[in-house]
Structure 1
Amino acid sequence: MFARRLILAAAVSLLTVPAMAQDYKLGSLEITAPWTRATAPTARSGGGFMTITNKGTTADRLVSARSTVSDKVEIHEMQMDGSVMRMRELAKGLDIPPGATVMLKPGSYHIMFMELKAPLAKDAKVPVTLVFEKAGSIDVQLDVQAMGAMPHGHGKN
């Protein structure tokens, strides 16, 4: 009887776990937990987040991205300029050093979707092509989380 309840409890708990983003591999690069936030109906921009790990011995660089959800996609960083947080495009892209993990997260590096064609809706998928200097291109799907979402590990730290 106890074992049956334990199995039932485990099965129910699996139903309440949110869907996990798919992970991707391109050469020595691993792209994990790609996600974005739902946007308001009038929003003109949104951000894309993920973790990129370079398991190789050679540096690479995320040089561009593109998506059908917006007219323009840029690679951005946010940093403090005195007491003001500023966002700017990384014109040369984002370095992914060998053996390093780079997090694209709110308040830091991120993919910037500009001139959105429609709002990003919770539970949808956003197609993005990431272009790396050496590894080439890969198509990924970003899971759209709720507005204001902050998945575990993607804080401003």
Structure 2
Amino acid sequence: MRHMILAALAAAALSAPTAGSAEVLAEANGIVIEEGYARAAGASARTGAAFMAITNTNDSDDRLIEARSDIAERVELHTHQMKDGVAQMRQVEGGIPIPAGETVLLERGGLHVMFLGLTGEMAEGSAVDMVLVFETAGEIPVTIPVDLMRGQDGGHGHGHGAASGG
């Protein structure tokens, strides 16, 4: 009996995610969405954003061309640009390139999905259902947890060494 318990514990430890492993939220057509989270400025906020790592495991480039969600009147792909020393959010024209074999980070202070005109509250512990639309991989549904504390340092909140796209 003792050997069975030890074997079960060992198997559980081997299959459990490690501290450095990523939380995969969706995977389809060679695109992997991981470590995503969404946040709003507060309960009465009219805007919110979603952040994630998008990996293209395909041999050819792809492009995130649209994001959709019922949480907002409009959903746009955004980035931050510096103008006269002030960071301004701008809609990304033409989508976000996701090069073959690379990971692109959508993170605070960089590329991200922007929710404009929130239609519901983004409460801590809830989730946002989204559809990410890729030029080649097509539509990929994903559920992003709302985490109002993650990324407070301005970063994505994980240890990827990947490029953050442009």
TM-score for both structures, normalised by structure 2: 0.76
Tell me what 1:80 maps to: 82
Following superposition of structure 1 onto structure 2, how do residues 132-151 of structure 1 map, counting pairs within 5 Å?
132-146=134-148, 148-150=149-151
**In structure 1, distance between residues paired with 2:58 and 2:39:** 30
Q: Is the 8 A contact 1:71 1:117 kept in 2?
A: yes
Using the TM superposition, give the Cα deviation of residue 23 of structure 1 relative to its aligned residue in structure 2, in angstroms.
Answer: 2.5
| Structure-to-structure mapping, 1:54-65, within 5 angstroms | 54-65=56-67
> Identity percentage over the alignment?
35
Q: Deviations over 1:44-91 (max 9, x none)?
A: 100100000111111100000110111100000112224111110012
Q: Which structure 2 residue ranges, 5 or more long, are not aligned?
A: 1-8, 10-18
- Name the CA distance, whole Å, in 2 between partners of 1:23 and 1:42: 27
TM-score by length of 1: 0.80
Query: Which amino acid in 2 is paired with 1:101?
Result: T
Q: Cα–Cα, structure 1 residues 21 and 144, in superposed 2: closer, same or farther, change >3 Å?
A: farther
Structure 1 residues not aligned, in runs of 5+: 1-6, 8-16
What secondary structure, in the 3-state scheme, does the structure 2 residue paired with 1:91 have? Answer: coil
Q: Which residue of 2 aligns with 1:130?
A: 132
Say which of 99, 105, 114 aligns to 2:116: 114
CA contact (8 A) 1:38 1:122 kept: no
- Please state whether the residue corresponding to 2:55 is helix, strand or coil: strand
The CA RMSD over aligned residues, in Å, is 2.4
Shift in Å, 1:39:
3.9
Paired with 1:65 and 1:106, the residues of 2 have a C-alpha distance of 17
**Partners of 1:81 and 1:26 in 2: CA distance:** 37
Q: Aligned partners of 2:48 and 2:157: how far apart in 1? A: 19
- Distance of 1:46 and 1:136 partners within structure 2: 24
> 1:69 maps to what in 2?
71
Tell me which residue corresponds to 1:40.
42
Report which stretch shifted further, 27-36 or 107-116. Answer: 27-36
SS of equivalent to 2:43: coil
Match of 2:33 in 1: 31
Instruction: Report the counterpart of residue 97 of structure 2 in structure 1.
Output: 95
